[in-house]
A and B are shown apart, each in its own frame.
Chain A
């Protein structure tokens, strides 16, 4: 049945896999009818999918350097697109995004634009040129283009800081989902999550991560779309929700006017004993806030997320794995296509989920009903028990008002199937999808850090004579150490999922964006300029974050640039310093200039050899 090379059989293999997964869902649905408990279904969903990823990880084991670092540069365009989409869509995208829109409405949707538009920068400014360069890691490009170990090392520092901030959030998400689905404490769930993540990447590096990420994308997209279509069709709101929810969005506006959007005073919330991190709906769903400042806040967030996207090493390194420069460009397009399938669905999920809760005409609506009745509902009870939902009767009338219902943003996606009264098999599916999203991103990030440390720091700086066996051994040991450090920090629960994710973008854009693009687009950029830019960019961005973040110094934000947007400061400083210092230092030698010319032409050999 499988003749020829593995790569030629990919569509068949993943087609079978998708079919197998759908059959598994149907079997679970039958088992639920036959009386299997919700808990067993949840465990089976998570365990089954994680086992499949582990098997793929094992089958993709390798002892070759280029297979370990860049999957042998033979990943076909469309599959690399799927892998990038899984790499990209994190626990935050899957679990927290619809929840963010649920509470933040239009203003939160700046993240949707920022997290998609960045790919235009990746395709037109970076991906094809980095692919032509033939590097294994992002610091590999900086180190070779600008020359010298210091430039390489600075790039490793920025990469490690940005990726590590991001990875703790992902391990945190795997822990949350594993603990809920398997019924174990969060602290243990974090370590179970880590072991699952390492099973996918340890033996095969980039090759194993690529093929598990494709499998994870398939699971996560099925898990995200089924509940949306189901809810929409069940309630007769539209056969294809994405194009047919106009009335529902308008209805939400009516309901907001009817119930009133009340922002609770912080003192009232505290006095009522609402657990930390829970929110009530206080912002309009589709309404745009007036004024230039509101527009600037929206746009500045978009800038940070877009520029950050184009600087995040775990994404850029996915385009090193394509067979050609042409394929790298096309692959960016496919990546965004697969990402858009989920991102355009998130607002629809938020709309449907909110309506289920708010509309008194629907059987599932709870707003405006007597609190005593609402407390009897099973899902309300179970989420209240774990302090993820809360009711505070501020006006004491015994009826649930919109501002009296509190929920954690992160649980909206996980709770929606129960809220809408869908069978438990859907909840199990959603848990497996969330787990896939968080695992695939964590894998990409841990691998990016470990590869930079093993290739750029260990092999290029410390021990350039190391043989292949030793290099790969170091790479794997670092993978475990970094993963363990991430899991340890995640188990201490320092920031919420979202705060940390946005910071990773800001760190990356502060230190890496301009050194990367100017390396290709400006021949005059010098080593001194790049080093000075990376150091001052990262330092000024970090200093501003400390200055403005409420838990550190908490000063008022300058021009609305708060702790989610500190990259604007860092990247601007980086650009100015890099240009000024470059112009003050002698221009790069002719060999470097020739190299840049060579990078700009798609045909011909890569700059760095196949094995380096």
Chain B
């Protein structure tokens, strides 16, 4: 496999992992909304909390994490951008 292909394999892997985490916080949690709501967090019913803050905070952290990981992958294969590339 060429350098480019390996880079793309790793990039794809990271994309799938990112979307799996996204799917959990965006969908799986809310499939069980009514049973989650019996538990509580910070005094809020849990499903309400995930909707109001929990999942949103998870998305923010997820994107920062994704951006850092992708930068590492680019560095590993020597695809880091230089100043004045375009």
Beta-carbon contact of B8 and A326 below 8 Å: no
Beta-carbon contact of B31 and A299 below 8 Å: yes
A329-B66, A603-B82 given as contacts; is B37 within 8 A of A288 (CB)? yes
* Interface: A73 (CB within 8 A): yes
Would you give the 0/1 interface string for B43-67, flagging 1 where the beta carbon is closer than 8 Å to chain A? 1110110011101110110111011
For chain A residues 254-286, which have a beta carbon within 8 Å of chain B?
Answer: 286
* Interface: A306 (CB within 8 A): yes
Q: A204 vs B30: C-alpha distance in the bound complex, in angstroms?
A: 44
Beta-carbon contact of A600 and B52 below 8 Å: no
Would you give the 0/1 interface string for B23-35, flagging 1 where the beta carbon is closer than 8 Å to chain A? 0011100110110
Beta-carbon contact of A295 and B66 below 8 Å: no
Smallest CB gap from A348: residue in B: B52
* Interface: B76 (CB within 8 A): no
For chain A residues 72-126, which have a beta carbon within 8 Å of chain B?
Answer: 73, 106, 109-110, 112-113, 116-117, 119-121, 123-125
Smallest CB gap from B21: residue in A: A120
* Interface: A65 (CB within 8 A): no
Would you give the 0/1 interface string for B1-21, flagging 1 where the beta carbon is closer than 8 Å to chain A? 000100110010011001100
Beta-carbon contact of B15 and A124 below 8 Å: yes
Beta-carbon contact of B18 and A124 below 8 Å: yes
Smallest CB gap from A117: residue in B: B26
Q: Which residues of chain B are within 8 angstroms of A610 by Cβ–Cβ distance?
A: 86
Smallest CB gap from A292: residue in B: B31
Beta-carbon contact of A600 and B56 below 8 Å: no
Q: Closest CB-CB distance, B22 to chain A, in whole Å?
A: 4
Would you give the 0/1 interface string for A194-219, flagging 1 where the beta carbon is closer than 8 Å to chain B? 00000000000000000000000000
* Interface: A178 (CB within 8 A): no
Smallest CB gap from B79: residue in A: A603
Q: Closest CB-CB distance, B15 to chain A, in whole Å?
A: 5
Beta-carbon contact of B27 and A343 below 8 Å: no
Beta-carbon contact of A600 and B47 below 8 Å: no
Beta-carbon contact of B27 and A116 below 8 Å: no
Q: Which residues of chain A are within 8 angstroms of B18 by Cβ–Cβ distance?
A: 120, 124
Q: A244 vs B47: C-alpha distance in the bound complex, in angstroms?
A: 16
Q: Which residues of chain A are within 8 angstroms of B36 by Cβ–Cβ distance?
A: 288
Q: A289 vs B74: C-alpha distance in the bound complex, in angstroms?
A: 46
Beta-carbon contact of A246 and B81 below 8 Å: no
Beta-carbon contact of B30 and A134 below 8 Å: no
Q: A128 vs B71: C-alpha distance in the bound complex, in angstroms?
A: 11
Q: Closest CB-CB distance, B32 to chain A, in whole Å?
A: 8
A326-B71, A329-B66 given as contacts; is B45 within 8 A of A113 (CB)? no
The interface size bin for chain A is 35 or more
* Interface: A40 (CB within 8 A): no
Beta-carbon contact of B56 and A123 below 8 Å: no
A117-B26, A120-B19, A288-B37 given as contacts; is B81 within 8 A of A344 (CB)? no
Would you give the 0/1 interface string for A281-304, flagging 1 where the beta carbon is closer than 8 Å to chain B? 000001111100011001100100
Beta-carbon contact of A347 and B34 below 8 Å: no
Would you give the 0/1 interface string for A125-156, flagging 1 where the beta carbon is closer than 8 Å to chain B? 10010000010000000000000000000000
Q: Which residues of chain B are within 8 angstroms of A286 by Cβ–Cβ distance?
A: 37, 44-45, 48
Q: Closest CB-CB distance, B62 to chain A, in whole Å?
A: 6
Q: Closest CB-CB distance, A392 to chain B, in whole Å?
A: 30
Q: Closest CB-CB distance, A166 to chain B, in whole Å?
A: 22
Q: A286 vs B48: C-alpha distance in the bound complex, in angstroms?
A: 6
A124-B15, A600-B8 given as contacts; is B67 within 8 A of A106 (CB)? no
* Interface: A477 (CB within 8 A): no
Beta-carbon contact of B30 and A299 below 8 Å: yes
Beta-carbon contact of A336 and B60 below 8 Å: yes
* Interface: A324 (CB within 8 A): yes
Q: Closest CB-CB distance, A153 to chain B, in whole Å?
A: 27
Q: Closest CB-CB distance, B25 to chain A, in whole Å?
A: 7
Q: Which residues of chain B are within 8 angstroms of A302 by Cβ–Cβ distance?
A: 26-27, 30
Would you give the 0/1 interface string for A574-612, flagging 1 where the beta carbon is closer than 8 Å to chain B? 000000000000000000000001001111111000100
Q: A2 vs B78: C-alpha distance in the bound complex, in angstroms?
A: 37
* Interface: A337 (CB within 8 A): yes
Q: A610 vs B7: C-alpha distance in the bound complex, in angstroms?
A: 26
B25, B81, B85, B86: which has the most chain A beta carbons within 10 Å? Answer: B86
* Interface: A340 (CB within 8 A): yes
Beta-carbon contact of B59 and A117 below 8 Å: yes
Smallest CB gap from B34: residue in A: A288
Of the residues B44, B48, B60, B78, contact of A340 by C-beta under 8 Å: B60
Q: A610 vs B85: C-alpha distance in the bound complex, in angstroms?
A: 11
Q: A510 vs B55: C-alpha distance in the bound complex, in angstroms?
A: 26
Q: Which residues of chain B are within 8 angstroms of A288 by Cβ–Cβ distance?
A: 33-34, 36-37, 45, 47-48
Q: A603 vs B67: C-alpha distance in the bound complex, in angstroms?
A: 15
Q: Which residues of chain A are within 8 angstroms of B8 by Cβ–Cβ distance?
A: 600
Q: Closest CB-CB distance, B35 to chain A, in whole Å?
A: 9
Of the residues A243, A332, A348, contact of B42 by C-beta under 8 Å: A243
Q: Can you report 29 A-B residue pairs in the complex whose CB atoms are below 8 A from each other?
A: A106-B47, A110-B51, A112-B52, A112-B56, A116-B56, A117-B22, A117-B25, A120-B19, A123-B63, A124-B19, A249-B48, A250-B43, A286-B37, A288-B36, A288-B48, A294-B34, A295-B30, A295-B34, A298-B33, A324-B81, A326-B67, A330-B67, A333-B66, A340-B56, A340-B59, A344-B52, A344-B57, A600-B8, A605-B86
Which residues of B approach A to under 8 Å, CB–CB? 4, 7-8, 11, 14-15, 18-19, 22, 25-27, 30-31, 33-34, 36-37, 40, 42-45, 47-48, 51-53, 55-57, 59-60, 62-64, 66-67, 70-71, 74, 78-82, 85-86
Closest 8 CB pairs of A and B: A246-B43, A347-B52, A286-B48, A333-B63, A288-B33, A329-B67, A117-B26, A120-B22
